[in-house]
Amino acid sequence: MEKLIEYKCPCCGGKIEFDSNSQKMKCPYCDTEFEIGTLRDYENDLVCDGEDDISKVGKASGRWSESEAEKLRTYVCHSCGGEIVTDSTTAASSCPFCGNPAIMQGQISGDLRPDLVIPFKLDKKAAEAALLNHFKGKKLLPKLFKDENTLKEIKGVYVPFWIYDNKADANARYRATKLRYWSDSRYSYTETSHYSVVRSGNLEFSGVPVDGSSKMDDILMESIEPFDISEAVDFNTAYLSGYLADRYDVTSEESASRAASRMKKCCEDTFRSTVSGYASVIPESFSFSLDEGTVKYALYPVWLLNTEWKGKKYFFAMNGQTGKMVGDLPLDRAAYFKWLGGLTAAFSVISAALYLLFMLS
């Protein structure tokens, strides 16, 4: 005995009945007619909607060997609590986070050993030059900033990142419409055809980085992306020489949600881009799940700079691999209003001419 299925109207949600006159399914509330097959297929579309599942994000597991552990030292800053790791040959003289001289020394223990490192490709000089370049071409930057700002700190730091490789499964359902226009002597007609569009599939990700240090501003770190993981090499303590490495203090599980949401957004965008040819597309449901993947612990090179101007500190970061420099600059309010006023005046001339042309013709 077949189960009695009640179909809901895709247009208004009411219960659909079979209309013997037209031999089709018809909604008594909105009078829309449907083919029987259409309703069955639509039900199938709806069934695929689901909840997100990101439980299978991987776990990192590398461990330090004893000989390696001997070569490394950790430092803890008294004033801000920042922790850094470096090799035994490098003395950490000041905290890269707050500028205070770092104090406490300790041995590495119980920490995870990085799987990968992207070595510094650009040196200190390149970082300074890039900062000056960053100031160029910004019309609303106060003129004095360039001359008066004092570079307080440049530090090359290895920032800990959790790197995720995953295969993502997603199911997206949209409501789309196509339009058709025509007219006769008495009326203009608009026909709207409604479609249920489904895109289901998977997308692979490799090297999605999430900042594993609570001290490093996550947004700042995301701004200097992308990092090219193909240039990463197996970790060796030698790389730490002359640089400081920040210790991770966020676990990979905690970082996983950020990785997952970024992967999800990318899937949403990618799937949406495969829907074309419609007048309008409205997403109705999107479900996302991650297959078993891997997590790696990597150190990525970042140059941190801060300058001071008129008593305020400005922070900049440069990608030690690609050279991308980011950092918010101050706004010259006077220049802002001068430009606004000047441009408005200039456009007023054109606007007035157009207005007269329009009004006096």
Partner 1 sequence: MKKLSVLLFVIILILTPVLADDSQEVASGMIPDERQLPLLVDDAGLLDGEDYQEVLDRLEEISGEIELEVALVTKSSLDGEPIKSYTDDFYDYNGYGYGDGDDGIMLLISMEEREFYISTYGYGITAFTDYGLEFLETSFIDYLSDGCYRDAFIAYAETCSYLVETARNDRPLDSYDEGGDSDYIGNGGYDDYGNGGYVSDGEVSRSSIWQCLADGWFIILLIAFIPAIIIVSAMKSQLKSVKPKNSAADYTVKDSLKLSKVSDLYLYRTVTKVARQQSSSGSSGGGRSLSGGGSSMHTSSSGRSHGGRGGKF
- Binders of partner 1 among residues 261 to 290 (CB under 8 A) are 261-263, 265-266, 269-271, 274
Q: Does residue 137 touch partner 1 according to CB under 8 A?
A: yes
The answer to whether 213 touches 247, Cβ cutoff 8 Å, is yes
**Concatenated DSSP letters for 163-181?**
EEEEEEEEEEEEEEEEEEE
Cβ atoms < 10 Å from Cβ of 29: 13
Report the nearest approach of partner 1 to the CB of residue 81 (Å).
23
Integer angstrom CA distances of residue 123 from 16, 105, 120, 241, 302:
70, 27, 7, 13, 10
* Near partner 1 by CB under 8 A: residue from 128, 153, 222, 308: 222
If the CB atoms of residues 59 and 265 are measured against partner 1, the closer one turns out to be: 265
Cβ(56)–Cβ(292) below 8 Å = yes
Least spacing, CB of residue 290 vs partner 1, in Å = 12
Task: Look up residue 278 and give its two tokens.
Answer: 């419609």
Least distance (Å) between residue 141 CB and partner 1? 6
- Minimum CB separation from partner 1 for residue 246, in Å? 18
Per-residue x/- mask for partner 1, residues 13 to 32, rule CB under 8 A? -------------------x
Quote the least distance from Cβ 77 to partner 1, whole Å: 23
Which of these ranges, 101-109, 121-129, 205-213, 301-309, lies near partner 1 under the rule CB under 8 A?
205-213
Q: Count the site residues for partner 1 by CB under 8 A.
A: 85
What is the nearest approach in angstroms of partner 1 to the Cβ of residue 334?
A: 13
Contact 73, 107 (CB under 8 A): yes
Nearer to partner 1, 7 or 243 (CB): 7
Q: Which of 3, 139, 143, 312 binds partner 1 (CB under 8 A)?
A: 139
Task: Tell me the per-residue interface mask from 35 to 74 with partner 1, x by CB under 8 A, - otherwise.
Answer: ---x--xx--x--x--------------------------
Measured at the alpha carbon of residue 314, what is the angle toward residues 310 and 317, in degrees to the nearest 5?
160
Q: Are 153 and 254 in contact (CB under 8 A)?
A: no
Check binding of 314 to partner 1 (CB under 8 A). no
| Token digits of residue 153 | 């700190």
Among 17, 18, 29, 33, binds partner 1 (CB under 8 A): 33
Residue in 161, 150, 138, 142 with CA at minimum distance from that of residue 249: 161
Instruction: Decide if residue 185 touches partner 1 (CB under 8 A).
Output: yes
Contacting residue, 36, 91, 151, 343, with partner 1 by CB under 8 A: 343
Q: Nearest Cα to 15, choosing from 3, 1, 26?
A: 26
Tell me the closest approach of the beta carbon of residue 2 to partner 1, in angstroms. Answer: 22
Q: What are phi and psi of 60, to 5 degrees?
A: -80, 155
Angle at 14 between CA 8 and CA 18, to 5 degrees: 70
Residue with Cβ nearer partner 1 (76 or 281): 281
122, 259, 298, 299: residue in contact with partner 1 (rule CB under 8 A) = 259
Q: Does 219 bind partner 1 (CB under 8 A)?
A: yes
CB of 124 to partner 1, least distance (A): 21
Q: In this structure, what token pair is assigned to residue 137?
A: 């071409």
Query: Which residues share a beta bridge with 306?
Result: 153, 315
Rounded to whole angstroms, the Cα distance separating 109 from 206 reads 29
Phi, psi of 170 (to 5 degrees): -140, 155
Task: Give dist(CA 314, CA 90) in Å, integer.
Answer: 27
The one segment of 96-104, 107-115, 146-154, 179-187 that binds partner 1 by CB under 8 A: 179-187
The residue behind tokens 């850094």 is: 84
Residue 66 Cβ vs partner 1, minimum distance, rounded to whole Å: 34
Residue 237 is encoded by which pair of tokens?
């303590």
Query: Applying CB under 8 A, does 251 fall inside the site for partner 1?
Result: no
The reply on whether position 195 binds partner 1 by CB under 8 A is yes
Using rule CB under 8 A, residue 11 touches partner 1 = yes
Tell me if the bond preceding 330 is cis, omega within 30° of 0. no
Instruction: Check residue 1 for interaction with partner 1 (CB under 8 A).
Output: no
